[in-house]
Every structure is written in structure tokens, then in C-alpha cells.
Amino acid sequence: MLSIEKQLRSLGAQPATQPARPRSLAFYGKGGVGKSTVVSNLTATLAARGRKVLQVGCDPKRDSSRNLIKTFPPTTLMDLLAAGRSNLAPEDLIMDGGSGVECIEVGGPKPGVGCAGRGLGRLFEELEGMEVFDRGYDYVFYDVLGDVVCGGFAVPMRDGYAEEVYVVTSGEFMSLYAANNIARGIANYAEQGDIRMGGLIANVKDMAYDRALIEQFAKRIGTHVVGWLEWDKVVCEAERRRQPVVRYRPEHPYVQTWQALADALEKQARPHIPKPMSDVELDVFLEELFGYGEADPA
């Protein structure tokens, strides 16, 4: 879907001056890989630098904002619509996520009922109508559910709301499998729009083992690793208190890990079109990668 501005350009017309839109990033990855942890800590880190960030949780579990908002459970768009609300205003939907942070949760139907992906399409209709993107944000982060297997959850990249997609991955087989599928989705939509891949964010338990695996995978699909995160107990401690690390223990050395990732996103963005593997190529590649990983994955 082309924006009005792009349609005007295609006709040789000059669009009216529009307010600058925020830099918009979508974060995808296999379920359970740590996307919400990564996004909420990154949001809080950037906010501590004076950036204004909107974090949009696109998961029916409505847990993206858990580490940021002061009250729980959160208000969700789907709950408001189910209650018959209409003519929504920003204050109906936007929650305070702390200094410099605002949060939105899409929510979804009850488990086993309806299609959660459909809520995303409705969300963007509401956000455009409320002119939410003109509220002076520096960043909008979309924390998106799982793999790109449903068109509904591809809305941020498909309809041009996200400029860059970052894939959170570990070095595990299924995590890399999902990352390749997501790269395929990016490549498909890049043909008809401006969406690009920003890179991989590695969230691992064992850096000594996983680093070589992920680096090889990144090279194979024509991308790069933006940042490296290794498991640390302080992240779990912070999450138990529903806080990002930068707020829970601002003096902890692990805060520097989030600072490094924030630096990479702010200063080293290299959006590109990935070159994902076919199912057969991926199967062979991962078999070779894991089959020889213990000896020397290089």
C-alpha cells in the first residue's frame, strides 16, 4: 500500500509539507527468544538519553510493556473495541511507560477465539486517525509476535509503518530457522515498498558457542549482527520487578550492553534487502552448521 506522499511523487506532484515522522523499527523473532525484553530495555535506554519513544506491543499476550508501565494489566485496543468503544482518543490507548516512554498494546481475542493478527490492521487505522505518529516521537518500536507466517502480523513491514526490521535470534536451530523465514518476508515486501532489514540482534546463553554460528548465518543471508546480548542474572532480577535493567540497577555493568546496542541502532543503521535461503538450502546449511559446530563451525 503506497502512502499518499508516495502516490503524489509518482504523479510528479509535490506533497504538502508534513511533520517529520519518527524512525520506525519492527522487532521480530521466534517466540520466546526475548524480543520484549530486548525492546523494553532498549526503549528505556534510549529514553534515558532524552529520546521520546513509543513502544507498540503487537502480541495478544499484551506483555510488551510489562517492564515499563506502572499498572498491570494494560489497556489494549482490542479490549476497548470489544467493550463497544468508538471515536477513541490517544489518551484512551496510550499508557505512561516512564519518562520519555509511551506504550500501546494491541491485545487480542481470548485464546482459541478469533484471529489476533486482524487487530494489527485495525490498530493502524486508529493510530492514523488519532495522528499518533505526529506526537513528536524520535522512535516508534513495534514488538511483533513470533514468525512471519500470518499476513496480519506482517502489517508493520507490509504496509510501510516500519522502516527497518531487526530480528532477535539465539544460536538455536529453530531460532535461526525463524530468522530466515522473517528475512524471506522482508525480501518479499521490499520488492513493493521501502521496508529493509536492519540486521540481527543476538540474544544468547553461551556466547562462546553461539557467536560463530550466528555470524555464519548472518553472512549466509546477507545481513550482519547489530548487537550481542548474553544472559545475565540481573536481567531476570529486573524482570521479576517489572523493570528494565537501566531503571532497576543503573550502575550495573550490564547496562553498558544495552548502551552498546542503542549506539549501534542510532549510529550504525545499514538497512538492506536480505538474501534468505530456500527451505532446501536452509535445511542443508543448518545441518552442516550444527553438525560440525562442536569442532569448529568456521
Residues marked active site are found at 30, 35, 61, 147
> Angle, nearest 10°, between helix axes 207-220 and 279-291?
150
Instruction: Report the C-alpha gap between 22 and 15 in whole angstroms.
Output: 18
Three-point CA angle 70, 75, 78, nearest 5°: 155
Which residues, 6 or more positions from 174, have their beta carbon under 8 angstroms from its beta carbon?
30
Q: In 67-116, where do the E strands start and end?
A: 95-96, 101-105
Express the helix, strand and coil content of the chain in percent, nearest 5 each: 40, 15, 40
Task: Locate 251 and state its grid cell.
Answer: 550502575
